[in-house]
Amino acid sequence: GPHFISFLASPSALTGSALFFHYTWRRNCSSAVMPRITSHYTIFPRDKDPRWEGVEMERFADEADVVIVGGGPAGLSAAIRLKQLAKEQEKELRVCLVEKASQIGAHTLSGACLEPSALNELFPDWKERGAPLNTPVTEDLFSILTEKYRIPVPMLPGLPMNNHGNYIVRLGHFVHWLGEQAEELGVEIYPGYAAAEVLFHEDGSVKGIATNDVGIAKDGSPKDVFERGMELHAKVTLFGEGCHGHLAKQLYRQFNLRENCEPQTYAIGLKELWVIDEKKWRPGRVEHSVGWPLNRNTYGGSFLYHLNEGEPLVALGFVVGLDYTNPYLSPFREFQRWKHHPFVAKTLEGGDRIAYGARALNEGGYQCLPKVTFPGGMLIGCSPGFMNVPKIKGTHTAMKSGMLAAEAIFPKVTAEDPASETAGLHIPEYEDNLKKSWIWKELYAVRNIRPSFHNYFGLYGGMVYTGVFYWILRGKEPWTLKHAGLDSAQLKPAKECTPIEYPKPDGKLSFDLLSSVALSGTNHEGDQPPHLTLKDDSIPVANNLAIYDGPEQRFCPAGVYEYVPLETGEGMRLQINAQNCVHCKTCDIKDPSQNINWVVPEGSGGPAYNGL
Amino acid sequence: YIVTIRVKPDHSGVVTDGVKHSMNPFCEIAVEEAVKLKEKKFIKEVVAVSCGPTQVTETIRTALAMGCDRGIHVEVSGKDYEAMGPLQIAKIFAALAKKEEASLVILGKQAIDDDCNQTGQMTAALLDWPQGTFASEVTIDGEKVKVVREIDGGLETIKISMPAVLTADLRLNTPRYATLPNIMKAKKKKIANMKPADLGVDMVSRVEVLRVDEPPTRLAGVKVETVDDLVAKLKANGTI
């Protein structure tokens, strides 16, 4: 018989009456009613929604000199630097910082081996101030793993992974400490309030941001406690949302910031904290591995760091490049099974897992750097992406970018007459300063290491390239290799790939997904529209499931996406468990249909990481 | 409030360092009720009180952002804070209620970390004031308060004279959000600082915590095929 799709959930096709929930579509032989998934106002605008008629939509607005989105290393370093300059030069400056987490550090997740270069510049007296850098690196091990064995690789000085002089830190605690320093300097920090919208002047320059509305029900209608977010206006707005920020995604399009760079490529990093048997504890030891359980053509590897903060704590995790091609791959399950390798298991046996989390990270480096300044704003930190991929360090460059932004902004925002063509200040000096700084030199030198993995020998080709060109030539080769393109375009159809047999979790070393998500402490107000919005509700089953066997079920580290059978009739539907989300951004990156648009949920929602 | 708590390695308590603390949900309801009463002009001023270390000022600010007029931070830290229980807090509240000449003391019915459900009742006893606990509806009628209480058997309505102590139960109201403009305005509201000694309260606890342990891991269940199997198994493990 004829089959047709009778409802298209694209905004332009909507009228007020078409917004009500059920729509029917027929596909092949199924004759089922598909429940609606997306109800967020970014997909279904409220000015066309009859349920919002007569609701007061005015927002309270306030002015600051500088507004910073994101309380991570970049945002806080920028805020601190601005206030330091204000103090030095005895000028008044109002700096406001908004952060979606309930407290500074609660959404921070990283390995992490901190290179103290930027910190030394920001606070030469960081030790006296009590910065939580308690674990200097004492031992640096690198291995290639096979299923049963381990091949040690010498950590020669000069190799990017060499960690001499660095500190193992719990980045969440370090960021929390930065927040305290910033508050002491007079920065107004507002955790629990997410920047949900970019505001623009008439001339198209950025005017500031608006924080999230509260009190919208799951179906998108206003609740009794509905309140509009607030507008924060600024002369210049800094966007430090971390890897793959949702406002940055919008700004790239608005100001065409990516026209001269490659699309960003990413990885997902999953992490756990374990209290281990004291006899196995080696404080200061850094271990990295590549190889098993990934095949040579899937980029990724592991880290295991022994912290020195009183109890025998190790931070460990697994990174998988999101340019992987097999839709049956589950980064979470690769992480869980890696822990069973004899070399890893011997450290963890008898220990207790106390924390879990995940976050996407940048892999693109130099080739993927966008323009970072535009009228009224700039991008800092992992948002544009200054991570040094082979070193797997991005904190020092993120901090430095924040400091450079502050130094470029300060004279302009305190000038009597900023002499700007646009209402929001455009400060291209920030980009010039970046190019002259050590960030640029560092990223340029390592630019070819990550793309060198795209060869027949995969991992081994990449290691040879690194050994020859980086270690010997320090990245001075005149060519620049390209990445593979958009991560979301790399998946092969499921029928061309082999499902991977993952072992069942044993409950001692490896665990199931839901108990892991529980350890992240993540929670969201249940009665709000799902913040994983779909541009078209019909695409997940029609495309993601049909062609790629629903890879989002596997790449989401929090079990947000589930394909479940329909209640009546044949077929499946996508169920979005938005409350589980840990704000890693992987789905927005890897969705082969690019149909998922992650937007910010009500502030305070998300993980409750403590020192991750 | 979804935080995975961990017992400290020395079994003296749970790890609280770095864990986000927020206003107890029943206390949020209490604050909301107080602010509503002020908006309806039954009371003139709402004072938000919290006892604890410096971090509690953040929680007091949230109460101020919801509409309280001023705050009082009673500083308790270190060993005193770890040993602080409902009795010590009730003594502080009783002293403050007298000092401030309060007509109502409104609290959450219990804290969700220890579930004691004692502070409100002890405060009323120390003050020798009437108490309207587990309130799901509060109406002020002249010098009296009508309280509908949620009890095991259903709902009980009582009328008590002021000054009185009320404790809030879940269905009393839905607390408003503390919006950012209100948080900013709350920075200008005053929070007074004092110590228990200033109120003549001694913080000595009569309770000593010997040891804190995690509950034993749940053992896997066993599925049986028939009722006979079930009876046999229950006999075997001594249940019947």
Give mean pLDDT, residues B125-143: 96
Q: Is A584 a catalytic residue?
A: yes
Give mean pLDDT, residues A525-543: 95
Which stretches of A453-579 are assigned E, i.e. beta strand?
Answer: 532-534, 561-565, 572-576
Q: Is residue B140 packed enough to be buried (19+ CB in 10 Å), middle (13-18) or exposed (0-12)?
A: middle
Interchain contact, A105 vs B2, CB within 8 Å: no
Query: Of A556, A573, A586, A604, which one is the catalytic site residue?
Result: A556
Q: What is the mean pLDDT of chain A?
A: 91
Task: Residue B181: list chain A partners with CB under 8 A.
Answer: 60, 62, 230
Q: Is A261 a catalytic residue?
A: no
Give mean pLDDT, residues B137-149: 96
Q: Which residues pair with A24 in a beta bridge?
A: A33
Give mean pLDDT, residues A575-581: 96
Q: Which residues pair with B48 in a beta bridge?
A: B71
How far is it, in rounded angstroms, from Cα A40 to Cα A46? Answer: 9
Distance from CA of B111 to the nearest CA of A (A): 19
Give mean pLDDT, residues A446-460: 82
Assess contact for A612 and A357: CB atoms under 8 A.
yes
B5: confidence class by pLDDT, cuts 50, 70, 90: confident
How far is it, in rounded angstroms, from Cα A65 to Cα A238? Answer: 11
Residues 102-131 of A with CB under 8 A from B: 102-103, 105-106
Residues 387-406 of A with CB under 8 A from B: none
The model's pLDDT over A414-449, given as tens digits with 9 standing for 90+, comes to 988 877 888 999 999 999 999 999 999 999 999 988
Q: What is the pLDDT of residue A8?
A: 37
Task: Residue A64: list chain B partners with CB under 8 A.
Answer: none
Secondary structure class of A23 (helix, strand, coil): strand
Nearest to A237 by CA among A249, A247, A229: A247
Is A611 in CB contact (< 8 Å) with chain B? yes
How far is it, in rounded angstroms, from Cα A118 to Cα A396? Answer: 5
Give mean pLDDT, residues B31-48: 97
Q: Is A556 a catalytic residue?
A: yes
Q: What is the pLDDT of residue A164?
A: 83
Query: Of A135, A330, A373, A395, which one is the catalytic site residue?
Result: A395
Q: How far apart are the first and last CA of chain B?
A: 40
How many helices (H) and strands (E) are present in chain B, helices listed first?
Answer: 7, 8
Interchain contact, B179 vs A611, CB within 8 Å: no
The model's pLDDT over B89-109, given as tens digits with 9 standing for 90+, comes to 999 999 999 999 999 999 999
How far is it, in rounded angstroms, from Cα B125 to Cα A74? Answer: 53
Distance from CA of B4 to the nearest CA of A (A): 6
Q: What is the pLDDT of residue B228?
A: 92
Interchain contact, B6 vs A354, CB within 8 Å: yes
Question: Does position A468 have pLDDT exceeding 80, yes or no?
Answer: no
- In percent, the amount of chain A with pLDDT more than 90 equals 81
- Chain-centre distance of CA B167, in angstroms? 9
Q: What is the pLDDT of residue B1?
A: 63
Q: What is the pLDDT of residue A416?
A: 81
Task: Residue B19: list chain A partners with CB under 8 A.
Answer: 608, 610
Instruction: Please tell me which of the candidates A103, A224, A311 has its beta carbon nearest to residue B20.
Output: A103
Q: Select the residue from A94, A187, A214, A278 to test the B interface by mutation, using most B Cβ atoms within 10 A.
A: A214
Assess contact for A491 and A325: CB atoms under 8 A.
yes
Q: What is the pLDDT of residue A554?
A: 96
Q: Is A110 a catalytic residue?
A: yes
Closest residue in B to A173 (Cα–Cα): B18
Interchain contact, B180 vs A211, CB within 8 Å: yes
Closest residue in B to A276 (Cα–Cα): B9
How far is it, in rounded angstroms, from Cα A412 to Cα A427? Answer: 8
Closest residue in B to A311 (Cα–Cα): B9
Residues comprising chain B, all counted: 240
Q: Is A497 a catalytic residue?
A: no
Burial A473-496 (b: 16+ CB within 10 A, else e): eebeeeeebebbebbbebbeebee
How far is it, in rounded angstroms, from Cα B95 to Cα A141? Answer: 61
Query: CB under 8 Å to A452, separation ≥6 — which residues?
Result: A461, A462, A465, A466, A469, A481
Contact pairs from chain A to chain B, CB under 8 Å: 54
- Contacts within 8 Å (CB) and 24+ apart, A342-347: A342/A148, A342/A150, A343/A143, A343/A145, A343/A150, A343/A289, A344/A302, A344/A304, A344/A316, A345/A509, A346/A280, A347/A276, A347/A280, A347/A304, A347/A314
How far is it, in rounded angstroms, from Cα A401 to Cα A381? Answer: 6
Assess contact for A217 and A46: CB atoms under 8 A.
no
Assess contact for A580 and A560: CB atoms under 8 A.
yes
Interchain contact, B1 vs A176, CB within 8 Å: no
How far is it, in rounded angstroms, from Cα B94 to Cα B112? Answer: 22
How far is it, in rounded angstroms, from Cα A520 to Cα A109? Answer: 11
How far is it, in rounded angstroms, from Cα A591 to Cα A241? Answer: 20
Q: Which residues pair with A302 in a beta bridge?
A: A289, A318
Query: Of A397, A584, A586, A604, which one is the catalytic site residue?
Result: A584
Interchain contact, A214 vs B22, CB within 8 Å: no
How far is it, in rounded angstroms, from Cα A328 to Cα A555? Answer: 9
Q: Is A474 a catalytic residue?
A: no
Which stretches of A184-296 are assigned E, i.e. beta strand?
Answer: 188-191, 195-200, 206-211, 214-216, 222-227, 231-233, 236-239, 266-275, 285-291
How far is it, in rounded angstroms, from Cα A332 to Cα A68? Answer: 33
Q: Is A382 a catalytic residue?
A: no
The DSSP secondary-structure symbol of A435 reads H
Distance from CA of B174 to the nearest CA of A (A): 8
Question: Does position B131 have pLDDT exceeding 70, yes or no?
Answer: yes
Nearest to B11 by CA among B216, B209, B218, B204: B209
Interchain contact, A227 vs B179, CB within 8 Å: yes
Instruction: Please tell me which of the candidates A60, A225, A523 has its beta carbon nearest to residue B181.
Output: A60
Q: What is the pLDDT of residue A55?
A: 93
Nearest to B64 by CA among B147, B184, B161, B151: B184
SS (H, E, C) B34-103: HHHHHHCCCCCCCEEEEEECCCHHHHHHHHHHHCCCEEEEEECCHHHHHHCCHHHHHHHHHHHHHHHCCC
Closest residue in A to B187 (Cα–Cα): A188
pTM of the shown model: 0.90
How far is it, in rounded angstroms, from Cα A379 to Cα A2? Answer: 50
In this structure, the dihedral spanned by the alpha carbons of residues A59, A64, A69 and A70, taken in order and rounded to 10 degrees, is -120
Q: Select the residue from A516, A522, A610 to test the B interface by mutation, using most B Cβ atoms within 10 A.
A: A610
A16: confidence class by pLDDT, cuts 50, 70, 90: very low
Q: What is the pLDDT of residue A13?
A: 39
Q: How far is CA A397 from CA A57, A77, A182, A237, A437, in A?
A: 40, 11, 19, 20, 10
Is A522 in CB contact (< 8 Å) with chain B? yes
Instruction: Please tell me which of the candidates A105, A230, A311 has its beta carbon nearest to residue B181.
Output: A230
The model's pLDDT over A44-70, given as tens digits with 9 standing for 90+, comes to 999 999 999 999 999 999 999 999 999
Q: Select the residue from B3, B14, B20 to test the A interface by mutation, using most A Cβ atoms within 10 A.
A: B20
Nearest to A210 by CA among A104, A58, A103: A58
Query: Of A42, A108, A110, A237, which one is the catalytic site residue?
Result: A110
Question: Does position B119 have pLDDT exceeding 90, yes or no?
Answer: yes
∠ CA A135-A140-A146, rounded to 5°: 130
* DSSP letters for A150-162: EEEE---TTSTT-
User: Would you list which residues of chain B are within 8 Å, Cβ to Cβ, of chain A?
Assistant: 1-4, 6, 9, 17-20, 22, 174, 176-177, 179-181, 183-184
The model's pLDDT over A154-173, given as tens digits with 9 standing for 90+, comes to 877 777 777 889 999 999 99
Is A610 in CB contact (< 8 Å) with chain B? yes
Assess contact for A463 and A496: CB atoms under 8 A.
no
Structure tokens at A475: 């990245």
Q: What is the pLDDT of residue A519?
A: 93
Query: Of A333, A337, A353, A359, which one is the catalytic site residue?
Result: A359
Q: What is the pLDDT of residue B19?
A: 85
Q: What is the pLDDT of residue A3?
A: 36
Helix residue ranges, H only, A474-512: none
Q: Is the dihedral of CA A612, B6, B12, B17 positive or negative?
A: positive
